[in-house]
A and B are shown apart, each in its own frame.
Chain A
Amino acid sequence: MSRSRKVLVAAAAAACLALVAGCSSTGSASSTSATDADAFTYALITPGAAGDGGFIDSAIAGTELAESELGVTGRVVEAESVSQQEGVIRSTVATHPGIIVAPGLDPDSLLAVANENPDQLFGVPSDIFVDELPENVQAFAINVHESSYLGGYVAGSLSETKKVGAVLGIDNPGLNQFFYGYKQGVLAACPDCTVTPSYLNGEFSDPSVGQEAALALYQDGNDIVFAVAGLSGQGVFTAATQEGKYAIGVDSDQDSDAPGTVIVSVMKRVDQTTYNLIEAAKNGEFESGFVSAGLADGVSGLSWDDGSTVFADEGPEALASKVPALKTEVDDLKQQIIDGSIEVCDALNDPSSDACAAVGLEG
């Protein structure tokens, strides 16, 4: 008995060592790049592992762009759980980077550390839901209702059944900003269309449930579904492929996740805001407070504007042939939104507006 226990303990110790070795080797590899004393440094703290296919990957892409464009150096630190975050922020502050970029972290931890270290700059590329910020924090609020409107306009124009749907991870104001913008866009293109939401009960990483929800919409006669559900959205694409119907992607450019099935993606450019924060801090233009950004600032928009032609190339001829003309219309609408001649419902910041009442949101 005791010998077999020893074997187990040894095996466990070996496993631990292997894990520690894995961690420390990546850590030292990235920290060597930060030894150049003259270069401006950043640190990116993410609330989860890289590879979410969403805003974390997008933020990392932003730092990579900043490294190549601005010559800055820095590193990415992952804080897997909320309980780790405060410790990770503190240890990152101790390395004195020029700016700490922190998307989607627990606001209490972040602001507590920021208040204690007034000389350390912090930047939030998206989504921090608090009322005030300390002097050393700048936060972007990316508004997606206007770009969702454009996505909805595309869906309304291409729908053959006059029924379109949306699969949303959860029923909250943040996701409803996508939905009501989308709905308004659909109705602008196709006034007699119906727009049906399907909420997933907070399941953002269960593609099987996303697939069933999308299938329910397709069986009900909807032919285009907007997937706003993180990894569950992958299930929406599978359902669309299996049923020979179409989908619209979200957050990053998902057009090639299911080529010819995903018509367009409504992008939330966390890479852009990450880059902007690092650039501003490097050039001494850092300003504390909230920056509300959206379609007009280029931090939210359609994948088509980024040059994605996946659907035009690989979609079925009947729909793909409509894309060039539709793109012109969408560009025109985009200009009208930026000019202010079209007001889009913002379910997050202004749910009691007339535009929201018109699309059935009870503010």
Chain B
Amino acid sequence: MNAFVDFLNSGIRLTTPILFAAIASMISARAGVLNLAIESKVLAGAFVGILVAAGAQNTTVGVVAAAGAGAVIGLLLAFADRLGVDLVVLAIGLNILVLQLTVYLMRSYLGGVGTFSPDLDPIPPIVFPGLSELPVVGPLLARLNWIVYLGFVLVVLVALFFRTRSGRHLIAVGEAPIAAASAGLPVARTRLWALVAAGAIAGIGGAYLSVGDLGLFTRNMSGDRGWIGITAALLALNRPAFILPAAGVFGFASAASIRLQQIDVPANLTQFIPQGAAFVALVLVGIRSTSRDDLTRLWRNSSRLRLRKRLRNPPPDPARASSAPSGAGSQTPDEHDRTTHH
């Protein structure tokens, strides 16, 4: 029983950075941007967070700085979006740039080592008086700091936000940008704020790794958590209600692969669990045709559709049909025809 509670406790900690990345991906996706730069935002958050926290000797300042670093990358994406840059290509470039930039800066200014380990205690866990002595609840809530709880609170906040007027506007901008623009919504500005918010949230996820959990930074310490977050958001169909369990699948799979070894499950079996979970999750996403439509629509919106140009020279055809010369896009009208014939 105790081992199981420890496993849950470990799973929550491993889920936290993935959860932040998934929320960031969800917000971007809902605003109509396929945001593949989450990985770079997590890494930048981890790096800037520990640097500022060490300089200021204050972990909270570090976390705020990490959010700022992620927001700056979000801002960069938003401006590039306005210029009509292909965001998928830019995001791939950013991921490589941030990885190498952190290595370069560590080498040039922080003593030239693969690890930056300042004299800084990670954020202490929150201890609830009374609760920590209880048998099951105590160990379950041990070693969880405020960033973990912030992740849970954020899920609720985002869910509530999507029900507000501005939240509805954001979703409208993502689902039908042309219609939203015709209705007078500020499409570009909404996207900008969504990308900045997503960047800040991903940055906090990075700060959890460096400032929150370990008190050090190592090369590429985001370790693909940004990508896993994007997968988790897809698995959750970009809905706040599913985001926590979807991120949890990956965090708990990782915890299971570590903990199951203690009870003599062979290592070569346990090591398959995280990859197996990702595989099953992607298959689940793939067999849902609605989410496939979501995905292809997202892709078109972010990399093909040039909103500004389109608004200046409105095309004669409806937006959906004209912007889809590719095979993936042309399926949509076919399916539409089928359903109307029945």
Residues of A within 8 A of B (CB): 1, 4-5, 8, 49-53, 57, 171, 196-203, 205-209, 211-213, 215-217, 219-220, 231, 234-235, 238, 242, 257
Most B Cβ at <10 Å: residue of A198, A208, A215: A208
Tell me whether A212 and B83 are in contact (CB under 8 A): no
Most A Cβ at <10 Å: residue of B80, B122, B267: B267
Instruction: Taking A1-B309, A206-B223 as given, write out 18 further A-B residue pairs in contact, using a Cβ cutoff of 8 Å, ordered by the A residue number.
Output: A1-B83, A50-B112, A51-B113, A52-B219, A53-B113, A171-B267, A205-B218, A207-B214, A209-B223, A212-B10, A212-B254, A215-B10, A215-B143, A216-B258, A231-B114, A234-B214, A234-B218, A238-B214
Tell me whether B214 and A4 are in contact (CB under 8 A): no
Total A-B pairs in contact (CB under 8 Å)? 108
- Set A8, A51, A197, A235: member contacting B85, Cβ < 8 A: A8
Asked if B117 is an interface residue, CB under 8 A from chain A, the answer is yes
Q: Whole-angstrom distance from the CB of A58 to the nearest CB of chain B?
A: 12
Tell me whether A216 and B262 are in contact (CB under 8 A): yes
Tell me whether B209 and A208 are in contact (CB under 8 A): yes
Most A Cβ at <10 Å: residue of B6, B257, B268: B257
Q: Whole-angstrom distance from the CB of B213 to the nearest CB of chain A?
A: 6
* Closest B residue by C-beta to A49: B103
Asked if B78 is an interface residue, CB under 8 A from chain A, the answer is no
Cα A217 to Cα B117 with chains together (Å): 23
Contacts of B113 in A (CB 8 A): 51, 53, 57
Asked if B37 is an interface residue, CB under 8 A from chain A, the answer is no
Tell me whether A201 and B115 are in contact (CB under 8 A): no
Asked if B245 is an interface residue, CB under 8 A from chain A, the answer is no
* Interface CB pairs A-B, < 8 A, 5: A8-B85, A209-B258, A211-B213, A220-B3, A231-B114
Contacts of A51 in B (CB 8 A): 103, 106-107, 112-114, 219
Assuming A1-B84, A53-B114, A53-B115, is B221 touching A206 (CB within 8 A)? yes
Q: Is the interface of B mostly helix, strand, loop or mixed?
A: helix
Tell me whether A212 and B107 are in contact (CB under 8 A): no
* Closest A residue by C-beta to B220: A205
Asked if B259 is an interface residue, CB under 8 A from chain A, the answer is yes
Asked if B274 is an interface residue, CB under 8 A from chain A, the answer is yes
Tell me whether A49 and B214 are in contact (CB under 8 A): no
Give the contact-size bracket for chain B. 35 or more
Tell me whether B216 and A207 are in contact (CB under 8 A): yes
Tell me whether A231 and B219 are in contact (CB under 8 A): yes
Tell me whether B216 and A196 are in contact (CB under 8 A): no
* Closest B residue by C-beta to A52: B114
Q: Whole-angstrom distance from the CB of A169 to the nearest CB of chain B?
A: 11
CB within 8 Å of A: which of B168-223? 209, 213-216, 218-221, 223
Tell me whether A211 and B115 are in contact (CB under 8 A): no
Cα A201 to Cα B107 with chains together (Å): 28
CB within 8 Å of A: which of B46-94? 80, 83-85
Contacts of B114 in A (CB 8 A): 49, 51-53, 231
Q: Whole-angstrom distance from the CB of B19 to the nearest CB of chain A?
A: 14
Q: Whole-angstrom distance from the CB of B148 to the nearest CB of chain A?
A: 13
Cα A220 to Cα B263 with chains together (Å): 10
Assuming A8-B85, A231-B114, is B223 touching A238 (CB within 8 A)? no
Q: Whole-angstrom distance from the CB of A178 to the nearest CB of chain B?
A: 15
CB within 8 Å of A: which of B247-302? 254-255, 257-259, 261-262, 267-268, 271, 274
Contacts of A215 in B (CB 8 A): 10, 143
Q: Whole-angstrom distance from the CB of A294 to the nearest CB of chain B?
A: 26
Contacts of B223 in A (CB 8 A): 203, 205-206, 208-209
Tell me whether B83 and A8 are in contact (CB under 8 A): yes
Tell me whether B221 and A212 are in contact (CB under 8 A): no
* Closest A residue by C-beta to B258: A213
Cα A94 to Cα B6 with chains together (Å): 58
Interface flags, B105-138, vs A, CB<8A=1, else 0: 0110000111101000010000000000000000
Asked if B13 is an interface residue, CB under 8 A from chain A, the answer is yes
Tell me whether B258 and A198 are in contact (CB under 8 A): yes
Asked if B307 is an interface residue, CB under 8 A from chain A, the answer is no
Asked if B21 is an interface residue, CB under 8 A from chain A, the answer is no
Contacts of B112 in A (CB 8 A): 50-51
Cα A257 to Cα B215 with chains together (Å): 12
Contacts of B213 in A (CB 8 A): 208, 211, 238
Cα A4 to Cα B83 with chains together (Å): 7
Interface flags, B3-18, vs A, CB<8A=1, else 0: 1001000100110010
Contacts of A198 in B (CB 8 A): 258, 261-262
- Set B106, B117, B215, B221: member contacting A205, Cβ < 8 A: B221
CB within 8 Å of A: which of B205-245? 209, 213-216, 218-221, 223
- Set B13, B218, B219, B309: member contacting A212, Cβ < 8 A: B13
Tell me whether A49 and B216 are in contact (CB under 8 A): no
Contacts of A234 in B (CB 8 A): 115, 117, 214, 216, 218
Contacts of A8 in B (CB 8 A): 80, 83, 85
Contacts of B13 in A (CB 8 A): 212
Tell me whether A257 and B221 are in contact (CB under 8 A): no
Assuming A51-B106, A207-B216, is B255 touching A212 (CB within 8 A)? yes
Cα A199 to Cα B6 with chains together (Å): 18
Tell me whether A211 and B103 are in contact (CB under 8 A): no
* Closest A residue by C-beta to B271: A201
Cα A4 to Cα B82 with chains together (Å): 10
Tell me whether A238 and B258 are in contact (CB under 8 A): no
Assuming A4-B83, A49-B103, A51-B113, is B216 touching A216 (CB within 8 A)? no
